[in-house]
Amino acid sequence: MDIKVLGTGCAKCKKLEQLTRTAVSELGIEATIEKVEDIYKIMQFGVMNTPALVVDGKVVMSGRLPGDKELKELLS
Amino acid sequence: MVKEMREKVIALNRKTNGWLLPLLMLPVWVLLYMNLQNIADLIIDDVVGMTAGKHLTETLRFFIFEVPKVMLLLVLIIFGVGIIRSYFSTEKTRKMLQGKSLLTGNVMSALLGIVTPFCSCSAIPLFLGFVEAGIPIGVTFSFLIAAPMVNEVALVLLVGLFGWKVALIYVATGLTIAILSGWLIGKLKMEKYVADWVYNVKANAEGVEEERLSFSDRIQKGFDSVREIVGKIWIYIIIGIAVGAGAHGYVPEDFLGSLLGKENWYGVPLAILMGVPMYSNAAGIIPIVSVLIEKGVSLGTALAFMMSVIALSLPEIIILKKVLKWQLIAAFVGIVAAGIVIVGFIFNYVM
């Protein structure tokens, strides 16, 4: 699975990356996690609210921090 | 036993589509709110047993009354606004603003700035997303000025500490500044002062898919936003009110009056010059402004100070520098500052 965390470096964006890493290791799934901070690249996903979560090239959530349960559903 | 009850309430709450819990909590809220003065008096006079009329006693009484009052108002309003916000999204707002003519676009954009969920850390992606969709920069600026300045937290604090009249004046003048500043920036045709690379971004026009929400999801969003916003700002409010309560009696009245009172024409520009380098959200600045007013600063000057702290700030300007050339930033700061000066003068001379 290919996971990207989009965010320019605000506190919430860092938090989302950390939450995602924890969730992935807890779920025990094979995934590459990449933090995208370049605003140019972020825009190409059509996202206007950071942080956002991209799974296999698709934006699944944007503009907020999901709860633990929701995050795991999004990832599995 | 307790666990069983809990499960029953949760099940019942689900059956009523999430309505039950807020409905049960409302009377508790009203009861608490109506009795705040009594509770504060009870704690101060009977439980702690302090002598009424003394300086420290009245300072504590003010604090114990004021903090829960503002907190209760915040919880109620943020919950309501959280539900309203769930009907709006940046994507929808962008669609609504597309193809609107200049003035209509500015008015709509400033109004949408109030209800659309917005975080200043997303200002850049939002700006790019709007430009990408062909929304004129003047209209985009109306949004970017109104969104942080006129919001539910500012409204609650103003109502709680100054009353309805000042709150309405603030909202009306804040919106007017957002609308007219955006309109003027649009008239100046400053599109060429947007950083060149912005126009090369080929954003995925489809954007993000709309989330489908049931009404109980929306109520949940109301609770979520209460937790998120109150969790973030409660400490500022307590500190602000503590400073307010402390200054209530200990700083001589009219202490600031000679410098920033009505008589001094330079009070308003001076307040703005002090306000721009400072950065705070509405939660941090409003309790302090209430102290300023008490100590002799006139209403117009205090409003100008508050608006310049919230709407214009160095960190924001530095962020905007990534996407705007300095000419446009200068125009933005200059126009908004001029608007705030005018508001300040009007209130100093009319009221």
Q: Which residue would you say has higher pLDDT here, B254 or B151?
A: B151
- Domain ranges (residues) in chain A: 2-75
User: How do A32-36 and A52-55 pair as beta strands?
Assistant: unpaired
Asked if pLDDT for residue B337 goes beyond 80, the answer is yes
With CB atoms and an 8 Å threshold, state whether A48 touches B209.
Answer: no
* Residue A48 near chain B (CB below 8 Å): yes
Mean pLDDT score, B320-339 = 90
Mean pLDDT score, B148-166 = 85
- Of the candidate ranges A14-18, B76-80, B288-292, B324-328, the one whose mean pLDDT is the lowest: B288-292
Minimal Cα distance from A53: which residue of B? B208
Mean per-residue pLDDT over chain A, rounded: 86
Identify the band that residue B17 occupies on the pLDDT scale cut at 50, 70 and 90: low
Most confident range, picked from B13-22, B246-255, B333-342: B333-342
Q: Annotated catalytic sites of A, by residue?
A: 10, 13
The pLDDT of residue A65 is 82
What's the number of CA atoms in the CB half-sphere (13 Å) around residue B287?
Answer: 24
- Domain ranges (residues) in chain B: 90-200+248-350
With CB atoms and an 8 Å threshold, state whether A46 touches B207.
Answer: yes
A–B CB contacts, 8 A cutoff, strictly below: 67
Say if residues B105 and B97 touch (Cβ distance below 8 Å).
yes
Asked if pLDDT for residue B12 goes beyond 80, the answer is no
Say if residues B190 and B333 touch (Cβ distance below 8 Å).
no
- Of the candidate ranges A28-42, B9-23, B92-106, B306-320, the one whose mean pLDDT is the lowest: B9-23
The pLDDT of residue B211 is 66
Residue B46 DSSP label: I
The pLDDT of residue B75 is 92
**In angstroms, what separates the C-alpha of A50 from chain B's closest C-alpha?**
6
Please return the burial class of B246, using the count of CB atoms within 10 Å of its CB with bins 0-12, 13-18 and 19+.
middle
The pLDDT of residue B141 is 93
Mean pLDDT score, B325-346 = 91
**In angstroms, what separates the C-alpha of A26 from chain B's closest C-alpha?**
24
What is the share, in percent, of chain B residues with pLDDT greater than 70? 90
Mean pLDDT score, B91-112 = 90
Which residues neighbour B24 within 8 Å (Cβ) at sequence distance 6 or greater? none
Fold of A2-75: Glutaredoxin (3.40.30)
Most confident range, picked from B117-126, B161-170, B332-341: B332-341
Residues of B in contact with A63 (CB under 8 A): 89-90, 117, 119, 122
Residue B278: closest CA among B308, B238, B242, B322: B308
- Of the candidate ranges B13-22, B175-184, B247-256, the one whose mean pLDDT is the lowest: B247-256
Mean per-residue pLDDT over chain B, rounded: 83
Most confident range, picked from B180-184, B209-213, B322-326: B180-184
Asked if pLDDT for residue B10 goes beyond 80, the answer is no
With CB atoms and an 8 Å threshold, state whether B125 touches A49.
Answer: yes
Residues of B in contact with A14 (CB under 8 A): none
Minimal Cα distance from A39: which residue of B? B125
Identify the band that residue B102 occupies on the pLDDT scale cut at 50, 70 and 90: confident
* Residue A57 near chain B (CB below 8 Å): no
Backbone torsions φ then ψ of A29, nearest 5 degrees: -100, 155
The pLDDT of residue B128 is 85
ipTM (interface predicted TM): 0.77
Question: Tokens standing for B319?
Answer: 């962020």
